[in-house]
Amino acid sequence: MSSRLVSRRVHTDTGALSLLITNYVFSLATLVIINKCNINIIRLVLNTALAFLNVVSLVKAHLGLVSRRGLRDYLLFLINTAPYLVLIPYLGIWLLIPLTPLMLFIIEVIRGRGRSAVANVSGTTLIASTYLAWYVLMGGDLEIKVIVASLVWVIYHAFSALYVEGKLPFRQGVKPYHSSILWFISLPGLAYGLYITSGVLPLVILLEPSVRALIAVRESKLPMNDLRRKIRRIGISLLIESLVLASLILVILFVLR
């Protein structure tokens, strides 16, 4: 099985769609908890339409960009991302959260490296950043807790995506422990952000990925035999872990505030 086929099926199709759907539910739940009954129905409907657009066509746009890179593919990607320009006056400096992975992904695509590890990790991180974008578009206030939650969510998915890239036997320049380096570099800042906003209890959120990062230090790459099934199993495990993380964030950071 070629590396192209594994990358296409694992990172683009299943991962992107499940993360987009999870992000929508996660951002809506955050909005409901914080705003309670004070929800702007029009903004909710418009954001739901944007989320639906992303779910049904963003994956197709991504596949086009990393393979053909024709004008139609760029236009489809633009249609999926242009509506987020309205966030510029709302996010301020925090616009860097989605802008950084977007720039990295576009640069890799222009270089003809749309299936590289950098492109896959930045693409996953970009999708994870829709949590904050959708929350704001739906009318949520940009509270510091939401920003910290978004940073945890985005860095967690960058860590998970880099871990998967490190496990692939054909990614010679990426090892599983590289994801551990990324996580532990980010950990002090995430822990400090959670502590100053909510105290000691929210630090529990960081335990599972920290343990996984420690384990990844000693892990090696997967063998080529039956690779697709093994990668799918890792993907399912990571999806379950991300759902648990989202639930912990909602309960500890927002419900128990």
| CA-wise closest residue to 62 among 12, 6, 127 | 12
Q: State the pLDDT at residue 12.
A: 44
Q: Please compute Rg for the chain using Cα positions.
A: 18
Query: Which residue range forms the structural domain that includes residue 137?
Result: 3-255
Q: State the pLDDT at residue 13.
A: 56
> pLDDT tens digits for 89-142?
888 888 899 999 999 999 998 888 888 899 999 999 999 999 999 999 999 999
> pLDDT tens digits for 148-201?
999 999 999 999 999 999 999 988 889 999 999 999 999 999 999 999 998 999
> Can you tell me the distance from the alpha carbon of 179 to that of 168, in angstroms, rounded to the nearest whole number?
13
Residue 48, pLDDT > 90, answer yes
> Can you tell me the distance from the alpha carbon of 93 to that of 91, in angstroms, rounded to the nearest whole number?
6
Judge contact between 206 and 159, C-beta under 8 A: no
| CB-CB neighbours of 49 under 10 Å | 11
- Which bin fits 13, alpha (ψ -120 to 50), beta or left (φ > 0)? alpha
> pLDDT tens digits for 1-21?
334 434 444 444 577 889 999
Judge contact between 206 and 194, C-beta under 8 A: yes
Q: Name the one residue in this structure whose structure tokens are 């860095």.
A: 155
> How many domains, in total, are found in the chain?
1
Judge contact between 26 and 250, C-beta under 8 A: yes
> Can you tell me the distance from the alpha carbon of 126 to that of 78, in angstroms, rounded to the nearest whole number?
14
User: Residues 139-170, buried b or exposed e (16+ Cβ, 10 A)?
Assistant: bbeeeebbbbbbbbbbbbbbbbbbbbbbbbee
> Can you tell me the distance from the alpha carbon of 40 to that of 38, in angstroms, rounded to the nearest whole number?
7
Question: What tokens does 2 get?
Answer: 């070629």
